Amino acid sequence: MEKYLTYVDQEQLKDRLKKCGLLKIKQDRKMGMDKNSTLKVKVGGKTILDLLPKGDSIFLLLPEDLECQGENAKPQGSNTICTIEEGVLYDEIGRKMRYHALEDTGELDEEEEMKLCDLREYEMSTDCLVKGKVVYFDYTVGSASKENMPGLGGVNIRFRSQDTGDVYKTKSKIDGAYQIEVPAGRYDVTYEKGEEYTVVNQSVTITPVMDLYKNTTVELIDEEWFGEGYLDAYLYDGSTGRPLSGAEVRIYEGVECYHNAPVHSVKTDERGYFSTGFLSASAYTLVISKEGYRPLSIYGTVIGNIRGFMSKIVLYKREG
């Protein structure tokens, strides 16, 4: 991985970086630094450059092991720190940048022999970058929390727009992490990895102001744990700590898939206790509500032949 950054003082920079074998730079007269800015490049904690702005700014292509710091930096135009992987340029949060060619603004110096990139030829993406993780249930893990479960690679992830019908696809990496760029809108998301794992459905809404959306960690169940199980818990008042009876618990299949009808509903008893009853192994969302209290939504996974005790759940009274 390499980084592109706006930088300063081309001649001094060339001189200093020749000793480090770094010469991939390009002049850009349209981008400058504030007069109070100081930029530093560090290698292994040792500063090799500590420059105040002089002359023209440039783009500097640096290897991954160089750390760059800006102090009081106020670049003109967009504040862009980009990465390039396998010839593709990404912005600072990981969205692909869109290419648009510019007219040739001048000849390169003879010293600059390698292929260079001018960031002015790229536009920032207006889509949202969605990042998330897929895990699978492992009985040997000490904690039942999804965040502690091992990642699951090779999961096919499909975002289908509820507004336009457009489909966007990606796959989870070996550690279960994934990312995908989608326009703002409402999406039905499907997570699937063959017949040996459960299929999980999710509803996601991405607003136009979102650049980065951190999605819920989704848990799949392998065939060893197919079958039926249930979720249960005790519900309490968040202010008094007393059990809440008579609260309604609506159970939806999937992750926040409220546009579908609930598969079941129950009420808490005098101890605040409720059980979903036996359900097929899958992902479910519980919506808990009681008059005078703020409703609560909880995503849980039903594991075949296992009681999924959700411990203590609290509701808080509405203000006013």
pLDDT tens digit sequence for 257-295: 988 899 999 999 999 999 999 999 999 999 999 999 999
CA distance 244 to 250: 16
Domain with CATH 2.60.40.10 in the chain: 227-315
Q: How much is the pLDDT for 266?
A: 96
The yes-or-no verdict on residue 83 having pLDDT over 80 is no
**For the residues 238-267, what does the mean pLDDT come to?**
94
Which residues does 164 contact at the CB level (< 8 Å), separation at least 6? Answer: 185
Beta bridge partners of 42: 47, 67
The pTM of this model reads 0.70
The yes-or-no verdict on residue 41 having pLDDT over 60 is no
Q: What angle do CA 213, 215, 216 make, to 5 degrees?
A: 155
Q: Which of 34-43, 288-297, 306-315 has the highest mean pLDDT?
A: 288-297
What mean pLDDT, rounded, does the chain reach?
Answer: 77
CATH fold for domain 227-315 = Immunoglobulin-like (2.60.40)
Q: Is 249 or 47 the better-scoring residue by pLDDT? A: 249
How far out from the chain centre does Cα 102 lie?
Answer: 32
Q: Is 5 or 301 the better-scoring residue by pLDDT? A: 301
Whether the CB-CB separation of 28 and 118 falls below 8 Å is answered with: yes
* CATH numeric code, 128-223: 2.60.40.1120
Q: Is 115 or 142 the better-scoring residue by pLDDT? A: 142
| 181-225 tens-digit pLDDT | 999 999 999 999 999 999 999 999 999 888 899 999 999 999 999
Residue 30: pLDDT band with limits 50, 70, 90: very low
Domain with CATH 2.60.40.1120 in the chain: 128-223
* Long-range contact pairs involving 105-110 (C-beta distance under 8 Å, separation at least 24): 108/26
